[in-house]
Amino acid sequence: MTTSNRSGGAVWVIAEQIDCRLLSVSTQLIGQARKLADELHTSVGAVLLGNDIKNRSQELIAAGADRVFLGNAPELAFYHPEIYTDIIVNLAQAHKPEIILIGSTATGRELAPLVAARLKTGLTAHCIDLVLDENRNLEQRIPAYGGLLSIICPRRRPQMATVAKGVFAAPEPDETRCGEIVEIDAPNRGSDRIEILEIVREEPEGVPLESAAIVVAGGAGAGDLEGWKQIADLAKSLNAALGSTRPAVDEGWTELATMIGQSGKMVSPRLYIGVGLSGEQQHLVGVVDAKVMVAINSDDKSPVFDQVDYGIVDDCRAFVPVLIQKIKAYQEKKVTC
Binding site for ligand FAD (CB under 6 A): 219-221, 223, 245-247, 259, 261-264, 276-278, 280, 282-283, 296-299, 302, 315-317
Q: How far is the CB of 3 from ligand FAD (least distance, A)?
A: 38
**Residue 63: which residues within 8 A CB-CB, separation 6 or more?**
27, 30, 31, 34, 170, 171, 173
- Determine the residue type at 103: G
Residue 171: C-alpha distances to residues 84, 86, 168, 175, 309 (Å):
26, 30, 9, 12, 30
Nearer to ligand FAD among residue 20 and residue 256 (C-beta) = 256
Least distance CB 30 / ligand FAD (angstroms): 24
Nearer to ligand FAD among residue 86 and residue 314 (C-beta): 314
Minimum separation from the CB atom of position 299 to ligand FAD (A): 4
The whole-angstrom separation of Cα 19 and Cα 41 is: 34
Q: Which is nearer to ligand FAD, 237 or 297 (CB)?
A: 297
* Residue 241 CB, nearest approach to ligand FAD (Å): 15
Q: In what order do the strands lie in the sheet with 44-50?
A: 123-127, 159-163, 99-103, 11-14, 44-50, 67-72, 180-184
Report the nearest approach of ligand FAD to the CB of residue 246 (Å).
Answer: 3
CB of 256 to ligand FAD, least distance (A): 10
Output 72 or 278, the one with its CB closest to ligand FAD: 278
Say if strands 147-151 and 138-144 run parallel, antiparallel, or are unpaired. antiparallel
Q: Using CB atoms within 10 Å of the CB of residue 220, give its burial: 0 to 12 exposed, 13 to 18 middle, 19+ buried.
A: middle
CB closer to ligand FAD, 12 vs 253: 253
* Beta carbon of residue 263, minimum distance to ligand FAD (angstroms, whole number): 4
Identity of the residue, 26 or 282, whose beta carbon is nearer to ligand FAD in the bound complex: 282
Nearer to ligand FAD, 65 or 128 (CB): 128
**CB nearer ligand FAD, residue 122 or residue 261:** 261
What's the closest the beta carbon of residue 106 comes to ligand FAD, in angstroms?
A: 15
Minimum distance, C-beta of residue 133 to ligand FAD, in the bound complex (Å): 22
Cα–Cα dist 143/286, whole Å: 11
- If the CB atoms of residues 13 and 277 are measured against ligand FAD, the closer one turns out to be 277
Distance from C-alpha of 20 to C-alpha of 17, rounded to nearest angstrom: 6
| Measured CA distances, 168 to 79, 254, 283 (Å) | 24, 27, 17
